[in-house]
């Protein structure tokens, strides 16, 4: 039986919406983890101060990671561990960005320094971390003394991908380079990755790493995937990230072909067959046995559903997912098994609420309990 004792989630592209909103459903999902005695933490490429708005609504009590765990902090933002980019490395990284006509940002302490307030994605970052930048005429040596992260933003995603490789080659083992978003090239201290938070919390909480579940959507989440017992990739992740995960959710930006809106989650029109709505993690599990193990472990909070036929679309994100499926469906509460095994290529695990097939094709004995009130 698979046991989950701790959940660690990426933030942008995973926990929050595209407009950086933390929804009431996401908050309720994390609250359910607290009630079940399952620890919860977050790990992000954002600076720690850019995560402060999540602390209270998610009731974060465990240490969390900023700068991809270049900084591990307490919920009061006091620093537990922090690593910095060496001044000469920071200076070289900024120079390389400038050679490619990218107006980069330098994160120092509780500030982010920029030279061009009209540069790509400045407005987006200001909205995301809810902190205005400090504009300087030019970067000088005084700005490189205590750098936590350098970001090269661009609307040219191809350039960012190419420059990420060039930057890593140029800096070699003196820095870690990766994309936190398709439009951001991040430079952080060497040896830093999100897997450090998995190891840190496992050690501090005495939780075996196989009992840790992680969620993410970008290449910089892969280090978490490798160190955790169970990894869930977002549907908006690249194929490489999905292949590295044990399960995949629908995309946070997808809109159902059956008319379900990704922003509201409310159905728009009718679709035949089964409809399910989940207020918790909902993932496409790659193998039947894993799905059964997850259902047995945390089945008290949801149902296991196998869907045969065509899934007609999804909405939401890892903590707020709904779907419509055409075809036959089996819903398995807790560890119960069906006499009619799934023949479709999806085994889906849903935590939350399920609405049975209105035509009554789901056997009554296997219908899940309603654990949450209808939306």
Average pLDDT, the chain: 75
Q: For residue 250, what pLDDT is reported?
A: 72
Full 3-state SS string of 309-367: CCEEEEEEECCEEEEEECCCEEEEECCCCCCCCCCCCEEEEEEEEEECCCCCCCCHHHC
What DSSP string runs through 151-187?
A: EEE-S-HHHHHHHHHHHHHHHGGGSEEEEEETTEEEE
Same domain, 98 and 179: yes
Spatial neighbors of 210 by CB under 8 A, at least 6 apart, are 229
In a domain, 266, yes or no: no
Same domain, 178 and 201: no
Same domain, 183 and 117: yes
Same domain, 313 and 171: no
In a domain, 257, yes or no: no
**The domain boundary residue, chosen from 248, 265, 287:** 248
Same domain, 318 and 349: yes
In a domain, 258, yes or no: no
Same domain, 65 and 125: no
CATH of the domain at 157: 3.30.1240.10
Q: pLDDT band at residue 354, thresholds of 50, 70 and 90?
A: very low
Give me the domain span that covers residue 179: 87-188
In a domain, 372, yes or no: no
Residue 146: CB atoms within 10 A of its CB come to: 13
Same domain, 295 and 244: no
Question: Is the pLDDT assigned to residue 207 strictly greater than 90?
Answer: yes
Q: 77-86, 131-140, 283-292: which has the minimum mean pLDDT?
A: 283-292
User: Taking the complete model, does pTM exceed 0.75, yes or no?
Assistant: no
Same domain, 35 and 168: no
Same domain, 352 and 216: no
Q: Answer yes or no: are the C-beta atoms of 250 and 235 closer than 8 Å.
A: yes
Same domain, 198 and 57: yes
Question: Is the pLDDT assigned to residue 10 strictly greater than 70?
Answer: yes
Q: For residue 17, what pLDDT is reported?
A: 87
Q: For residue 146, what pLDDT is reported?
A: 95
* Helical (H) or strand (E) element with 214: strand 212-216
- For the chain, the domain total comes to 3
Task: Please give the Cα distance from 321 to 311 (Å, whole number).
Answer: 13
Considering only residues 314 and 252, tell me which one the structure prediction assigns the higher pLDDT: 252
Token pair of 295 as six digits: 């259902």
In a domain, 161, yes or no: yes
Residue 131, judged by CB atoms within 10 A of its CB (0-12, 13-18, 19+), counts as middle
In a domain, 305, yes or no: yes
In a domain, 1, yes or no: no
Spatial neighbors of 250 by CB under 8 A, at least 6 apart, are 235, 282, 313, 314, 315, 316, 321, 323
In a domain, 282, yes or no: yes
Same domain, 181 and 94: yes
């Amino acid at each position: 039986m698979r046991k989950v004792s701790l959940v660690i989630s990426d933030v942008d592209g995973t926990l929050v919406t595209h407009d950086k909103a933390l929804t009431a459903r996401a908050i309720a999902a994390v609250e359910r983890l607290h009630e079940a005695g399952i620890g919860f933490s977050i790990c992000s490429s954002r600076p720690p101060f850019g995560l402060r708005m999540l602390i209270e609504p998610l009731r974060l009590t465990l240490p969390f990671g900023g700068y991809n765990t270049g900084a591990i902090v307490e919920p009061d933002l006091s620093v537990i561990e922090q690593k910095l980019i060496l001044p000469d490395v920071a200076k070289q990284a900024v120079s390389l960005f400038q050679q490619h006509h990218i107006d980069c940002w330098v994160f120092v302490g509780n500030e982010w320094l920029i030279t061009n307030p009209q540069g790509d994605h400045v407005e987006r970052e200001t909205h995301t971390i809810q902190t205005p930048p400090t504009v300087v005429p030019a970067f000088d040596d005084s700005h490189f003394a205590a750098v936590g992260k350098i970001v090269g933003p661009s609307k040219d995603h191809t350039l960012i991908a190419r420059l990420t490789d060039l930057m890593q080659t140029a800096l070699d083992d003196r820095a870690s380079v990766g994309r936190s978003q398709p439009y951001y090239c991040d430079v952080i201290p060497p040896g830093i990755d999100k897997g450090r938070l998995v190891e840190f919390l496992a050690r501090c909480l005495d939780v075996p790493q196989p009992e840790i579940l992680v969620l993410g959507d970008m290449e910089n989440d892969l280090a978490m995937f490798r160190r955790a017992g169970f990894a869930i990739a977002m549907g908006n992740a690249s194929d490489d990230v999905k292949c590295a995960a044990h399960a995949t959710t629908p995309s946070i930006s997808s809109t159902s072909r059956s008319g379900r809106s990704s922003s509201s989650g409310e159905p728009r029109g009718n679709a035949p067959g089964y409809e399910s709505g989940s207020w918790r993690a909902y993932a496409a599990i790659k193998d039947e046995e894993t799905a059964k193990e997850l259902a047995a472990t945390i089945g008290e909070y949801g149902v296991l559903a196998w869907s045969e036929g065509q899934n007609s679309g999804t909405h939401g994100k890892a903590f707020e997912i709904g779907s419509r499926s055409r075809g036959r469906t089996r819903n398995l509460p807790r560890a119960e098994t069906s006499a009619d095994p799934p023949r479709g290529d999806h085994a889906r695990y849903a935590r939350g609420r399920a609405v049975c097939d209105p035509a009554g094709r789901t056997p009554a004995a296997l219908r899940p309990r309603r654990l949450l009130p209808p939306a």
